[in-house]
Each structure stands twice: as structure tokens, then as C-alpha cells.
Amino acid sequence: MIVDMFEEKLDALSRMAAEHMAMPFPPGFRGLDIEDQDMVMLDADTHGYATRVLEGPLTERHHAGLTRLTAVFDKVLPAVEDEYAIKYYTHVRDMAVLAAEVENLREK
């Protein structure tokens, strides 16, 4: 049962990462900091963690980084005002949350 759930979430993460790569980056967000977060780096870091999770287990350091990253979205998302950027970064946050879920299932 857990193996099936793991595989389903892993497949969903793979689809989300592909969808993410197909989405244009929000105009005006390059070089923009929101709540002391560089929005390009937030995007890149999230995609990097998702890719690492798809490739295999995270190190303890990377697992902690992913956990910290998911918490950043609680500060950043409410401060985003652009409609497309809200959609984009919600997708990015959901990808980070799903990557964390996959990693947590992998540990079981």
C-alpha cells in the first residue's frame, strides 16, 4: 500500500516538474525579492530539490533544506500580488510540498 502511494506521488512529482518547466517565468520577477527571498532562486531551488527527490533519497542536509524551503512559501505567497505569479508560485510551492511528501514516504 505504501509502495503504491509512493509510486503515485513520485509519478505526480515527475508530472509537476515537467509542467513547471513548461510554464513561463512570471514577467517582472527576475531580480525581485519578496520577504527577503530572491524569486528566481526560490524557483530554482524548488525545482532542484524536486529533481533530487526524483533521482533518489536526499541527504540529511538536503532534506532539511527542503523542509526550510516549504516554510518560505508561507511568507512569500501572501505578499505576491500578480495573478499569474500567484498561480506560478502556488504550483512551485505545491511541487515542494509533494517532493517533501515523496521523501517522507521513501523513509518508511
Kindly report, residue by residue over 40-49, the tens digit of the pLDDT: 999 999 999 9
- Indicate the pLDDT class of residue 3, thresholds 50, 70 and 90: confident
pTM of the entire predicted model: 0.92
Domain that residue 50 falls in: 2-106
Cell of 36: 527577503
> 33-34 and 37-38: which strand pairing?
antiparallel
**pLDDT tens per residue across span 41-97:** 999 999 999 999 999 999 999 999 999 999 999 999 999 999 999 999 999 999 999
Give the amino acid at 27. P
- Residue 2 is predicted with a pLDDT of 65
Number of domains in the chain: 1
Beta strand residue intervals within 1-108, DSSP E: 33-34, 37-38
Task: Say how far apart CA 108 and CA 106 lie, in whole Å.
Answer: 6
